[in-house]
Amino acid sequence: MTVPHRAVHRPARRRLRSASVAVAAAVSVGLTGCSSDGGSSGGGGGADQINRLAVMAPADPGGGWDQTARAMAAALESEGLVGSTRVTNVGGAGGTVGLAELANERSEDFLMVMGLVMVGAVETNQSQATLDDVTPLARLTTEDEIIVVPADSPFQSVDDLVEAVRTEGRGVSIAGGSAGGTDHIAAGLLFQAADLPVEDLNYVAFSGGGESLAALLGGQVDAGISGVGEYAQQIEAGELRALAVTGAEPVEGIDAPTLTEAGYDVELTNWRGVVGPPGISDEARERLLALVAQMQESEAWQAEVEERGWSDAYLAGDEFEAFLAEERQRVRGVLEDIGLVQ
């Protein structure tokens, strides 16, 4: 099944993420930190500069949201757009634990990373906190999903994985992020395209990319699905084998076809963005929008996007709010189609 989604500009091929840059960015952010209290003062490029900015990744360390939050913090600080940042991780339930915290946040100098995973998790977890409890700010990036197996796996192709499931059913386990998220949707769509019973999908959900990676490398699961950037370093090191990517085009540096090229009518692209707390003042919303816009245009952020193999998909303000409303409707329909919600 081809999943319709709003077209965004993306290069025909994207570079494999540089592990050294990723580590450097994480170290840079790890050395920063201060109180998460809000606070603004005049200055900074003709706009109110935020002295202390809190950025929440609503997931455990190591995954795409964590990478995005830390890349944002590194770019904001290196460009002098904020006085200092503090990145925090609040994992659990596809980001809905963090979403519940955001709903009660009182600081106006606060950003939370979110994306397609959270849209699905709100539905599958029947979360009391919903995306009505945020101030939409901007979509930032898109990224292909990738299907991988350990390097010593007998599966050499997606066909091998599919045939194993056809024979062994739930005896084949597939790791990914939280239930109902992008990874889970990708697995369900593959099963649907391969005419495999959805009830045979033995999907093992993890709250962060680091946990699913450990399960893969430890031989606890047979295959994994995640964003390309989360597994890129291990693919490059020869610890994981890539079977396919889910986007419209192959990814440079990844020796794997798209699912469509492999014969499965599936195309799915993950997106990530940022939101603010609910009920913030108009002035605070405009300040955060201006900050994110300055970051997105900066050389530091564009370098992060390039090195991590993401595609720029910037969409801000009212346009992002409209996109988010469309995504909520679209994702619920997909989840119903593949039997994850009723």
pLDDT at 295: 98
pLDDT tens-place string over residues 260-270: 999 999 999 99
pLDDT at 102: 98
d(CA 280, CA 322): 19
Given a contact cutoff of 8 angstroms between Cβ atoms, the answer to whether 188 and 38 are in contact is no
d(CA 196, CA 23): 39
The region, left, alpha or beta by phi > 0 then psi within -120 to 50, assigned to residue 317 is: left
Q: What SS3 class is residue 315?
A: strand
pLDDT at 33: 36
CA 87, 90, 96, 97 dihedral sign is negative
Look at residue 31 and tell me whether its pLDDT is greater than 60: no
Q: Which helix (H) or strand (E) holds 74?
A: helix 64-78
Percentage of the chain with pLDDT > 90?
Answer: 73
CA 183, 234, 228, 94 dihedral sign is positive
Q: What SS3 class is residue 243?
A: strand
Q: What SS3 class is residue 175?
A: strand
pLDDT at 296: 98
**Average pLDDT for residues 322-330, to the nearest whole number?**
95
**Average pLDDT for residues 72-94, to the nearest whole number?**
95
Assign 48 a pLDDT band (cuts: 50, 70, 90).
low
Structural domains in the chain, CATH included, are 19-142+271-337 (3.40.190.150), 144-245 (3.40.190.10)
Q: Could you give the angle at which helices 282-297 and 64-78 cross, rounded to 10 degrees?
A: 90
Look at residue 19 and tell me whether its pLDDT is greater than 90: no
Look at residue 26 and tell me whether its pLDDT is greater than 60: no
d(CA 159, CA 166): 10
pLDDT at 229: 86
pLDDT tens-place string over residues 126-174: 999 999 999 999 999 999 999 999 999 999 999 999 999 999 999 999 9
pTM greater than 0.95 (yes/no): no
In one letter, which amino acid is 311? S
Q: Which two tokens stand for residue 301?
A: 């952020």
Pick the more confident residue, 180 or 288: 288
* Nearest alpha carbon to residue 242 among 251, 255, 225: 255
pLDDT tens-place string over residues 197-218: 989 999 999 876 778 899 999 9
Q: Which of 84-88, 187-191, 210-214, 249-253 shows the lowest mean pLDDT across its residues?
A: 210-214
Q: Which two tokens stand for residue 118?
A: 């959270």
Look at residue 2 and tell me whether its pLDDT is greater than 60: no
